[in-house]
Structure 1
């Protein structure tokens, strides 16, 4: 389940970037009720994009901001409450790690869904039933 964190250079140190990504991973597992699930933990992947300061914009101007994008299969975080909880928790994680260098109003998040059967792991296409079975079969 890819997470993309985008920040301008100099906003977060490499250690803070790693801490933020780990916190986003934990937030997703917690909200999904899958903390400790080995299949899910192993398949939360992603990237940290560190862009030149002048390439991170809000209102058309450079700003110290963070963008969090989460890509999921259709069955994950499907309810409005789950979506809201992830966005709030993800914002809290990045704001805390920003240590005052990042205003809450400059943290944007979105969740994008892959269509049924279009989720691939290790060359295998997973539908909702396949994913539920893989998650249920994983050990804590």
Structure 2
């Protein structure tokens, strides 16, 4: 379940970047009720994009901002409540990581869904049923 965190250079220290990413991963697991699920934990992946300050814009102007994008299979975080909970948690996590250097209104999040059967892990295509089966088969708590 890829997460992309995009921030301008200098906004988050390397340690704060790592802590924010870890917090975002934990938020996905918590909101989806899968904390401790080995399959899900291993498949929360992603990247942190640190861009030159002049490449991060809002309203057409350079601004200290952060963007969180979460890509999921269409069965994940399917309820409006789950989506809202993740977005609220993600905003809190990034705001805390920035330590007062970022206005809350300059944190944007979005959730993008892969269509049925278009989720791939280790060269295998998962449809919703096989993904649910893999998650359920790995219910061992870490």
Give the shorter-chain TM-score range: over 0.9
Unaligned runs of 5+ in 1: none
- Indicate whether 1:121 and 2:121 are aligned: yes
Cα deviation, residue 131, structure 1: 0.7
Which 4+ runs in 1 deviate beyond 3 A? none
Cα deviation, residue 39, structure 1: 0.3
- C-alpha distance in 1 between matches for 2:118 and 2:5: 22
Cα deviation, residue 44, structure 1: 0.3
Aligned to 2:112: 112
- C-alpha distance in 2 between matches for 1:36 and 1:13: 28
Q: How does 1:1-140 map to 2 (within 5 A)?
A: 1-138=1-138, 139-140=140-141
- C-alpha distance in 2 between matches for 1:106 and 1:113: 23
Cα RMSD over matched residues? 0.4
- Cα deviations across residues 22-73 of structure 1 (Å, max 9, x unaligned)? 0000000000000000100000000000000000000111111000000000
SS in 2 for 1:7: strand
SS in 2 for 1:11: coil
- C-alpha distance in 1 between matches for 2:98 and 2:9: 13
Unaligned runs of 5+ in 2: none
Q: Aligned pairs, how many? A: 140
**TM-score after normalising by structure 2:** 0.98
